[in-house]
Amino acid sequence: MWGQGSNLRKYGYRTGMLLVAGYTAAGCSGAHEPAQALPTPPHASRVAPTANVPALLGTSIDELRTKLGATHTLPPDFVDPVAKNTLGLLPGKSDSLLAFRTGGLTLVASYNARTRQVHDLLVMGHQEDSLMARASLRANTSDYLLLPVFLTNRPNRLVGLRIIKTAK
């Protein structure tokens, strides 16, 4: 039976047709359906840096005045929670705190009045991500520490970010 050429061609043709039909069925992936694309996420607005706060770390208050210009008055009713708790300062007593404006940001420098060395900078604002971007700050650096500062009477209300230079 297999020896006959016509039967071999007949079975070979059937087998070939079955293979072609199988490939065609497997290849039908719904190409006639409209393409389904993944939804694109909304573009997150990128905030451009306006100040290089890390470059201001490790300076004296006099160098800070030279770089940033005239000082400004502290925000109304401003009480530095760290100074209040550690130094026992009263709200009106702020002889070692000076405020500056740079790149649209308010910086409060805490310094030692005797040595004139700046301990830390506080970037004032309520939006942490925006503050970090505008002040050119990074969370994953070993050059400084970033600490959020909250109101003492409203612990869920951000006052700003304190930047402390690390010793190397």
DSSP the chain: -TTSHHHHHHHHHHHHHHHHHHHHHHH---TTSPP-PPPPPPPPPPPPP---GGGGTT-BHHHHHHHH-S-BPPPTT---HHHHHHH---TT--TTEEEEEETTEEEEEEE-TTT-BEEEEEEE-S-HHHHHHHTT--SS-SSEEEEEEE-SS-TTSEEEEEEEEPP-
Instruction: Please tell me the total number of residues recorded for the chain in this structure.
Output: 168
- Which residue numbers in the chain have pLDDT < 50? 1, 8, 44, 86-94
Contacts of 52 (CB under 8 A, 6+ apart): 135, 136
The reported pLDDT for the residue numbered 152 is: 81
What digits encode the pLDDT tens for the residues 134-150? 999 999 999 999 999 99
The reported pLDDT for the residue numbered 89 is: 47
The reported pLDDT for the residue numbered 73 is: 87
The reported pLDDT for the residue numbered 90 is: 45
The reported pLDDT for the residue numbered 35 is: 61
The reported pLDDT for the residue numbered 82 is: 62
The residue among 140, 139, 106, 138 whose CA lies nearest residue 121 is 106
**Can you give the pTM of this predicted structure?**
0.66
Contact 53, 68 (CB under 8 A): no
